[in-house]
């Protein structure tokens, strides 16, 4: 308990003396982020006895809520301070001439188009699904058992009908997920389900789009982008999957890129793998395709028979592969963008620097016709 009081005091002091929003956000990450001190303590609850849990559970929850509230209050104060300062020092010259420059394509948009061009060349068409999904398409049909921890692992944003309650509380109150429970999709894989239910094989689609997880630090943003891929036919095997993805990375990085497939687990594919690309760091630059380090860029595997069955397909007649890749990470790697968070800050100077001319076709950029 003294531990908790001391930790409370430590963060209260840090929050109170933080003098910028970025410093405050660092404090939030170190306390409440995925690997934050308080989050790690909460994770430790699982190993405690029931009696210990009865004491420590509420105490840790209280600590977490207190610190979150202190951060929120300090944030508002800092924002007000910054606004007042800006109002006092900035002036607006209404007589300046209007400057309407041409906008640029965001690197994420550019990379999505590059990915689309590469896959269309091998017969994939583009489909889209809704950002607001239901539990059935996002989890159940993808073979996540009900109340499986993997659903929490995805740090899901649950949509709550009554705004006074948080999604997690509702889940706890009802004790189970209902298949109509609305969530912000945590991945683009639900588009696999929608496609298999609505189309007959052979299927070859990619599905680019926004995805959401409750996570925010230097390498995670609550909204990010993925491209899903799905191929279903009568005689598809792992060799097709590998060939397709090896072909993709070489075209995307415009280079013969060395890759490796590492065994992994996803509930909706079996076998499952992650694909890494070889890279090296030269100074602050990352060079893809050479060197002795490996970086994970996508998850993939053969569609699980249970998933096929959930979509009314017979696994003895149809099989296929699926993959999902993080678009933001690919854009950062290809175009040397150092910080993920800048991507979504809507700063026009950043866009002018990293953006692409809307008149430059993506297929020119990839060298494919
Ligand atoms: N949906 C997985 C993720 O978000 C990626 C994936 C897609 C893995 C398709 C296998 C097959 O991490």
From the first residue on, what is the mean pLDDT of each consecutive set of 10 residues in the chain (369 residues)?
Answer: 84 94 93 91 88 89 93 94 90 81 89 96 96 95 83 77 50 56 94 97 97 85 96 96 96 92 96 95 84 94 98 97 96 89 90 88 49
Number of the ligand 1 atom closest to the C-alpha atom of 272: 10
CA of 99 to the centre of ligand 1 (A): 44
Q: What is the pLDDT of residue 238?
A: 96
What is the separation of C-alpha 241 from the centre of its chain, rounded to a whole number of angstroms? 23
Test site for ligand 1: of 144, 184, 189, most ligand atoms within 8 A of the Cβ = 189
Is residue 106 helix, strand or coil? coil
What is the separation of C-alpha 325 from the centre of its chain, rounded to a whole number of angstroms? 10
Is residue 229 helix, strand or coil? strand
Cβ < 6 Å from ligand 1: which residues?
A: 187, 189, 228, 266, 269, 272, 299-301, 322-324
Residue nearest to atom 5 of ligand 1 (CA): 324
Q: What is the pLDDT of residue 360?
A: 72
Residue nearest to atom 4 of ligand 1 (CA): 187
Cβ-contact 275, 330 below 8 angstroms:
no
Q: What is the pLDDT of residue 101?
A: 73
Test site for ligand 1: of 154, 187, 267, most ligand atoms within 8 A of the Cβ = 187
Task: Output 120-123 pairs: Cβ under 8 A, ≥24 positions apart.
Answer: 121/251, 121/368, 122/204, 122/244, 122/247, 123/204
Q: Quick one: the chain helix, strand, coil %, rounded to 5?
A: 45, 20, 30
CA of 86 to the centre of ligand 1 (A): 44
Test site for ligand 1: of 299, 321, 328, most ligand atoms within 8 A of the Cβ = 299
176's tokens: 């189970």
CA of 151 to the centre of ligand 1 (A): 13
Quick one: which of 236, 57, 206 has its CA closest to 123? Answer: 206
CA of 189 to the centre of ligand 1 (A): 6
Q: What is the pLDDT of residue 107?
A: 96
Q: In 139-223, which ranges are continuous DSSP H helix? A: 149-153, 167-174, 190-198
What is the torsion angle, in degrees rounded to the nearest 10, for the CA atoms of residue 190, residue 193, residue 196 and residue 197? -130
Distance CA 209, CA 189 (A): 10
Q: What is the pLDDT of residue 149?
A: 72
Three-state secondary structure of 272-332: EEEEEEEEEEECCEEEECCCCEEEEEEEEEEECHHHHHHCCCCCCCCEEEEEEEEHHHHHH
CA of 300 to the centre of ligand 1 (A): 6
Number of the ligand 1 atom closest to the C-alpha atom of 189: 1
CA of 260 to the centre of ligand 1 (A): 17
Residue 26, exposed/middle/buried by CB under 10 A (0-12, 13-18, 19+)? middle
Q: What is the pLDDT of residue 361?
A: 63
Test site for ligand 1: of 324, 328, 329, 330, most ligand atoms within 8 A of the Cβ = 324
Q: What is the pLDDT of residue 366?
A: 47
């Amino acid at each position: 308990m003294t531990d908790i009081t001391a930790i409370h005091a430590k963060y209260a002091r840090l929050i109170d003396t933080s003098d910028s929003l970025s410093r405050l956000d660092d404090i939030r990450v170190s306390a409440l982020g995925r690997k934050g001190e308080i989050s790690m303590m909460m994770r430790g609850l699982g190993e405690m006895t029931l009696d210990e849990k009865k004491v420590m559970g509420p105490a840790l929850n209280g600590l977490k809520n207190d610190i979150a509230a202190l951060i929120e209050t300090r944030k508002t104060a800092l924002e007000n301070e910054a606004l007042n300062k800006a109002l006092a020092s900035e002036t607006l010259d209404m007589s300046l001439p209007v400057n309407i420059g041409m906008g640029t394509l965001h690197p994420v948009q550019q990379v999505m188009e590059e990915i689309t061009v590469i896959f269309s060349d091998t017969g994939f068409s583009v489909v889209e699904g809704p950002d607001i999904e239901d539990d059935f398409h996002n989890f159940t049909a993808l073979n996540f058992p009900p109340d499986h921890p993997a659903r929490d692992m995805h740090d899901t944003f649950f949509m709550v009908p009554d705004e006074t309650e948080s999604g997690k509380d509702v889940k706890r109150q009802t004790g189970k997920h209902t298949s109509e429970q609305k969530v912000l999709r945590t991945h683009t894989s639900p588009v696999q389900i929608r496609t298999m239910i609505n189309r007959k094989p052979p299927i070859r689609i990619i599905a680019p789009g926004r995805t959401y997880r409750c996570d925010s630090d230097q390498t995670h943003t609550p909204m990010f982008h993925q491209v899903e891929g799905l191929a279903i036919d009568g005689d598809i095997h792992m060799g097709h999957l590998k060939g397709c993805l090896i072909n993709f990375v070489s075209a995307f990085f415009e280079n013969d890129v060395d890759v490796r497939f590492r065994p992994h687990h996803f509930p909706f594919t079996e076998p499952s793998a992650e694909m890494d690309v070889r890279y090296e760091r030269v100074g602050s630059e990352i060079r893809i395709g050479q060197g002795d380090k490996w970086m994970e860029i996508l998850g993939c595997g053969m569609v699980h028979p249970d998933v096929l069955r959930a979509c009314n397909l017979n696994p003895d007649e149809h099989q296929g592969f699926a993959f999902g890749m993080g678009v933001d990470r690919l854009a950062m790697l290809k175009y040397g963008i150092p910080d993920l968070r800048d991507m979504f800050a809507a700063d026009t100077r950043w866009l002018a620097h990293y953006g692409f001319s809307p008149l430059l076709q993506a297929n020119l950029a990839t060298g494919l016709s």
